[in-house]
Homo-oligomer: A and B are copies of this chain.
């Protein structure tokens, strides 16, 4: 059952560089939130250090913890789901870390639910964002990685292992490039921020600048100033996104695709080639009705989506406990 309007959810969003915690009410409003850096040091108890840092951040929230009716968590994948044993790609100190069980110990008597952070973004957009009036949508994040979540028939789709929504590993190229997952031609290997700036650098964009200093934001800024390689790079990403979205649309008959994440800030430089590819690759009438829109939430999407796991389990938490 949905929680009552006056109730408060403790929401947590865990990524490789930042930890965010907040209090979200049952209407999806973020009442307060705090952010901190994810500890990076690989010490023997590095995993415990991250958990202590997280609990410390929660302790700084002003809301009385006695008010919390549940704990919702979005975390980078992969994870064993719904057990919530997490092994985020970019948090090396957590490998099979029993995040859900440890938080359940810290908050006895409360439901604790953990899902993929990209899934939480999609859930936030469905609950209170760009997809709130549809039953069938795809939410995507295009940033350091490319991820997503599917809501079909008004419910979050989990799949066999809780990993549905991995649109970043749909195949968009025939013979290259090699993806970090081991496969060939994945969307993420073309359109993620690092792969995109890497490709642009190979073509001669910002020669001499070390790889880790070539940020996606600068690529977008350069494209806005008319830099031809930066423009081509964004067209290439837009085209790859368009191919994956076309295939997702015919397979799942979604009404809305909401795209968030840093690279979505490129606006028409990314969305125009995406849309052109989509129109070229969608022949069936039903599919041509799909709308691709920017995500409505920014940084808060992770917290809002995590809270939705607690507020609306009938839509967003199928495991039932």
Contact surface of A with B, Cβ cutoff 8 Å: 78, 134-136, 150, 152-153, 155, 157-174, 179-186, 243-244, 246-248, 250-255, 280-287, 289, 318
Taking A186-B283, A247-B247 as contacts, is the C-beta distance between A153 and B163 under 8 angstroms? Answer: no
Asked if A171 contacts B246 (CB within 8 A), the reply is yes
Can you offer 6 A-B residue contacts whose CB atoms are under 8 A?
A136-B159, A150-B251, A152-B157, A163-B284, A165-B253, A171-B246
Q: How far is the CB of A169 from chain B (nearest CB, A)?
A: 4
User: Which residue on chain B has the smallest CB distance to residue A152?
Assistant: B157
Asked if A284 contacts B78 (CB within 8 A), the reply is yes
Asked if B153 contacts A282 (CB within 8 A), the reply is no
User: Which residue on chain B has the smallest CB distance to residue A170?
Assistant: B247
Asked if B171 contacts A173 (CB within 8 A), the reply is no
Chain B positions within 8 Å of A181 at CB level: 283-284
Asked if B173 contacts A174 (CB within 8 A), the reply is yes
Asked if B159 contacts A281 (CB within 8 A), the reply is no
Bound form: Cα–Cα A22–B159 in Å: 34
Asked if A169 contacts B78 (CB within 8 A), the reply is no
Copies in the complex: 2
Asked if A169 contacts B284 (CB within 8 A), the reply is yes
Taking A158-B253, A160-B254 as contacts, is the C-beta distance between A179 and B283 under 8 angstroms? Answer: yes
Chain B positions within 8 Å of A182 at CB level: 283
Asked if A170 contacts B253 (CB within 8 A), the reply is no
Q: How far is the CB of A272 from chain B (nearest CB, A)?
A: 19
Taking A171-B246, A243-B171, A280-B184 as contacts, is the C-beta distance between A253 and B161 under 8 angstroms? Answer: yes
User: Which residue on chain B has the smallest CB distance to residue A175?
Assistant: B174
Asked if B158 contacts A153 (CB within 8 A), the reply is yes
Chain B positions within 8 Å of A168 at CB level: 250
Taking A171-B247, A183-B280, A281-B171 as contacts, is the C-beta distance between A159 and B252 under 8 angstroms? Answer: yes
Bound form: Cα–Cα A78–B150 in Å: 24
Chain B positions within 8 Å of A243 at CB level: 171
Asked if B78 contacts A166 (CB within 8 A), the reply is no
Chain B positions within 8 Å of A158 at CB level: 153, 253
- The listed residue (B136, B164, B250, B287) touching A253 by CB distance below 8 A is B164
Bound form: Cα–Cα A243–B171 in Å: 7
Of A162, A168, A181, chain B has the most CB atoms within 10 Å of the CB of A181
Chain B positions within 8 Å of A252 at CB level: 150, 157, 159, 164, 251-252
Taking A136-B159, A150-B252, A252-B159 as contacts, is the C-beta distance between A185 and B286 under 8 angstroms? Answer: no
